[in-house]
Amino acid sequence: MTNIPVTLLAQIDDVAVFQTAAFFNDDIGSDTITKALRVNQQCNQSNKADYGELNLGLHVNDDATKVLNNRMRLLTAINEPTSHLLSEQKQPLLIKRLHWVNQIHGKQIHDIDDTQLGMEPLAADAMISQRQGLGLAIMTADCVPIVLYQPATGQIAAIHAGWQGLACGIIPETVKRFAKSAPIKAWIGVCISQENYEVGSQVRDKLLAGCRDNQSLSAQVTGSTSDFDRLYVTKSKTPPKNIVTDALEDSANSQSSLDTAAEAANGTTIYTDKIKLNLPKLAADQLSTAGVMLDKALPISCSYADRHYYSYRRQTHLQQPATGRMALVIARGVTIE
């Protein structure tokens, strides 16, 4: 795997978890995103699209041939029998294919084992499988990616959890597809940190309401706004901003948010209080509430602050026309004797 930016997060039994990135660690200097934003504001002009070294998203206007080649490079790298990323104490894995879905910020779950392989990826925000020899890949550029593994059954899952997925219960809905009597391990991949996830307070309100409706957190946490805020919210120090910008940033694929932005653009300018949400902690607590054990403690790398990763919000703030997508991958291989 020396030729692509990817890191092994864990390897248990015949299962391995990988996190891809936009660049190798030595491909970017020490300049921070804050400096990049300042330079961009001074220049007052848009930058080029940021597709990096390993863009895996076909929906971001990159060359489809390059993206498909990147996906094949990732599959090939996972199968390298002498990969330095795989544990020396473990046998190498053989993965026949990687599965992808068209992520739609909902709670649809795709059972790989019950569906024939087709040319078009299905619309879903989670995948599950018990088969050997395949991997499940979730693409992100700020949202929270999660993978699950149940050693007793061999079942694996991959989950895409932005704030909408966390609100509509994608985590508990996926956990319900596992055997109830056996422990489940989870890993959270690179996503945006609370410090850099500033949104309007209406996002918090919808998220809290969703957590109540889906019982994805304990009643003590969702009993009141103040209880919820104590764990997941800090007040923003920046002044209120027009909701048009927030709606487009917070949910690129959310029709309701786009409708709100359109209404504001056509007539009334709406302002809202600004807060900062801790999505990775919220995801971790939803996993715990569902009885899942998080294998790696928070905090994790921030997609926005670390320019080795892709960030949709950073793309927006830098006025770039597009950015790539990285992936958290869980692969259950066929052990090579």
pLDDT tens-place string over residues 249-282: 555 444 344 444 444 444 444 545 899 999 999 9
Q: Determine the pLDDT at residue 85.
A: 56
Q: Determine the pLDDT at residue 120.
A: 80
Residue 133, Ramachandran bin (φ over 0: left; ψ between -120 and 50: alpha; else beta): left
Confidence check: pLDDT of 245 > 70: no
Whole-number percent of the chain with pLDDT over 90: 69
Q: Determine the pLDDT at residue 89.
A: 53
Q: Determine the pLDDT at residue 255.
A: 38
For 33, phi and psi rounded to 5 degrees? -65, -30
How confident is residue 48, by pLDDT bands cut at 50, 70 and 90? confident
Confidence check: pLDDT of 94 > 90: no
Q: Determine the pLDDT at residue 116.
A: 75
| Average pLDDT of the segment spanning 172-184 | 96
Give, rounded to a whole angstrom, the gap between the first and last alpha carbons of the chain: 21
| Average pLDDT of the segment spanning 300-321 | 95
- Compute how many other C-beta atoms are within 10 angstroms of the C-beta atom of residue 302: 20
**Distance, C-alpha 320 to centroid of its chain:** 20
- Give the 3-state secondary structure percentages of the chain, helix then strand then coil, rounded to 5: 35, 25, 45
By C-alpha distance, which of 317, 335, 312, 333 is closest to 59?
Answer: 312
Strands 185-188 and 293-294, bridge-based pairing: parallel
- CA distance linking residue 4 with residue 78, whole number of Å: 11
Whole-number percent of the chain with pLDDT over 70: 78
* Inter-residue long-range contacts of 43-49, CB under 8 Å, 24+ positions, other chains counted: 45/319, 46/319, 46/320, 46/321, 47/318, 47/319, 47/320, 48/320, 48/321, 49/320, 49/321, 49/322, 49/323
